[in-house]
Structure 1
Amino acid sequence: MSPEFVITMAEQSVYTVLAISLPLLLVALGVGLLVSIFQATTQIQEQTLAFIPKIVSVFVALIFFGPWMLSKMIRFTFDIFNNLHKFIG
């Protein structure tokens, strides 16, 4: 196993993790920003107010993006198992 192969596999792994987590993180970021703007304009300083909308929005995004995320993970896992012979030796 060459160093280039290891670096390529690590690069693909990091790219896959980022691609899978990015939609949920962006949804949580957007909803958190909207709730923060709402809290700043209405001067409601309740700390727990931000959690419920974020949890609900991430759950909805998980339902929406879940099939795509699962197919991306399955494709990456299939590629790893398909190239298993390259890991030995």
Structure 2
Amino acid sequence: MSPEVFVEILREALQMVIILVSAIILPSLFVGLIVSVFQAATSINEQTINFLPRLIVTLLALSWGGHWLVSQIMDFTFTIIDRIPEVVG
């Protein structure tokens, strides 16, 4: 296996991880920011107020995007399996 093939596979894997994690984390980040701005504007300093909306949005992102996430992982897995002869040979 040449180093170029290894680096390319590693780059593709890291890119896949970033895309999949971003699809789940970014909506939660935006909701957390909105709730934090609301807490700062109203001077409410309760930590549990921020948790529930973020949890709900994360679960909704997983349920709405779950099919897409799994299909991306499957496509990547099939691509890696198809590239086994290139890596070994």
Q: What band does the TM-score fall into relative to the shorter chain?
A: over 0.9
- Aligned twin of 2:36: 36
Q: Which runs of 5+ in 1 are unaligned?
A: none
What is the TM-score when the length of structure 1 is the normalising length? 0.94
Match of 1:55 in 2: 55
**Aligned partners of 1:75 and 1:23: how far apart in 2?**
17
Q: Secondary structure at the match of 1:67?
A: helix
Runs of 4+ with deviation above 4 angstroms: none
**What secondary structure does 2:37 align onto?**
helix
Deviation at 1:86, TM superposition (A): 2.2
Pairing 1:4-83 to 2, within 5 Å after superposition: 4-83=4-83
Offset at residue 49 of structure 1 (A)? 1.2
Whole-angstrom CA distance in 1 between matches of 2:5 and 2:85: 13
- TM-score, normalization by structure 2: 0.94
Identity %: 36
Q: How many residues align?
A: 89
Using the TM superposition, give the Cα deviation of residue 10 of structure 1 relative to its aligned residue in structure 2, in angstroms.
0.5
Cα RMSD after superposing both structures: 1.0
- 1:45 is paired with a residue whose SS is coil
Q: Runs of 5+ in structure 2 lacking a partner?
A: none
